[in-house]
Amino acid sequence: MSFDWEHLLTDIPFSPAPDKLLRQVRMEPEAGFDAAVEAIAQEAAALARPKALYRLAVPEPLDETGVRIDGVALRSRVLRVNLDKANRVFVYVATCGTELDEWAQGKTDPLEAYWADAVKQLALQAAIQALNQDIATRYRPGPTSAMAPGSLADWPLQQQRPLFQILGDVTRRIGVTLSASYLMIPNKSVSGMRFPREESFESCMLCPRLDCPNRRAPYDPELYERQYGAGAHV
Ligand code: SF4
């Protein structure tokens, strides 16, 4: 059963351009792999089905370190504070899709397997873009930020379980399953919560890892105490 506050995106256009794929694998066109990369891109375009599932919900404070969403408790002080002034939240999972994942697993040549992995990443980006566009067009939330379980010690990976619970049967609807260690399968999948927020928030602002290649914002060593510490009012 589908409610109008749940949205399933399964018809996401995806056709990886060979030049974009070459850039993704950091390979110069002169390297002489154009034809092979183009063949991979065509194979992928024929079977790829990136998908996303999201749900609009109203967060309720539970206590100082938790919120309740659709009757499900989530434990994170940072999430609790970030959602304090948010009157709605978009809970989501987006994925490259099982079709592409299974196709990539069949690639035994190491170079082809590497390219196939890059195609999966591009398909995931297409799913995330479609998800964010759908939220923006349908709900016009204004400026938003997002958080994902596992990005901070404050909101550990185990919290994938309640997030999936909010979304219902994620496996049946978009093929994403959780492993015993709470990792998503296909591995090119993301989950999280997007919420209205004037001031931009990135988990990276609270993360001290210096060598992370995916950092999206500088680390602010005083931010936690300033906005999320015991003295912060919520
Ligand atoms: S800096 Fe890297 S590890 Fe830390 S939250 Fe950002 S992306 Fe994740």
As a whole number, mean pLDDT of residues 186-215 equals 95
Q: How many angstroms separate the CA atoms of 229 and 233, rounded?
A: 9
Task: Name residue 7's beta-bridge partners.
Answer: 54
Name the H helices within 10-85.
18-24, 34-47, 77-82
From ligand 1's centre to the CA of 215, what distance in Å?
A: 5
From ligand 1's centre to the CA of 205, what distance in Å?
A: 8
Give the mutation target among 216, 219, 220, 224 for probing the ligand 1 site: most ligand atoms within 8 A of CB.
216
Residue 17 has pLDDT above 90, yes or no: no
Range scoring the smallest mean pLDDT among 35-39, 167-171, 202-206 = 35-39
Name the H helices within the chain.
18-24, 34-47, 77-82, 98-105, 110-139, 160-167, 170-174, 223
**Mean pLDDT across the chain:** 93
Domains within the chain, CATH numbers bracketed? 6-202 (3.40.109.40)
As a whole number, mean pLDDT of residues 80-105 equals 96
User: 175: pLDDT confidence band, cut at 50, 70 and 90?
Assistant: very high
Residue 154 has pLDDT above 70, yes or no: yes
Task: Identify the pLDDT of residue 158.
Answer: 98
Does any ligand 1 atom lie closer than 6 A to the CB of residue 190?
A: no
User: 2: pLDDT confidence band, cut at 50, 70 and 90?
Assistant: very low
pLDDT > 90 fraction of the chain, expressed in percent and rounded: 82
| Torsion, Cα of 42, 45, 48, 54 (10° steps) | 150
Angle between helices 34-47 and 110-139 (to 10 degrees): 50
As a whole number, mean pLDDT of residues 41-52 equals 95
Task: Identify the pLDDT of residue 20.
Answer: 80
Indicate the pTM of the whole model. Answer: 0.92
Q: In this structure, what token pair is assigned to residue 20?
A: 């974009």
Strand, helix or coil at 87?
coil
> Could you tell me which residue, 16 or 223, shows the higher pLDDT?
223
Take atom 6 of ligand 1 and give the residue whose Cα is closest.
204
Strand, helix or coil at 201?
coil
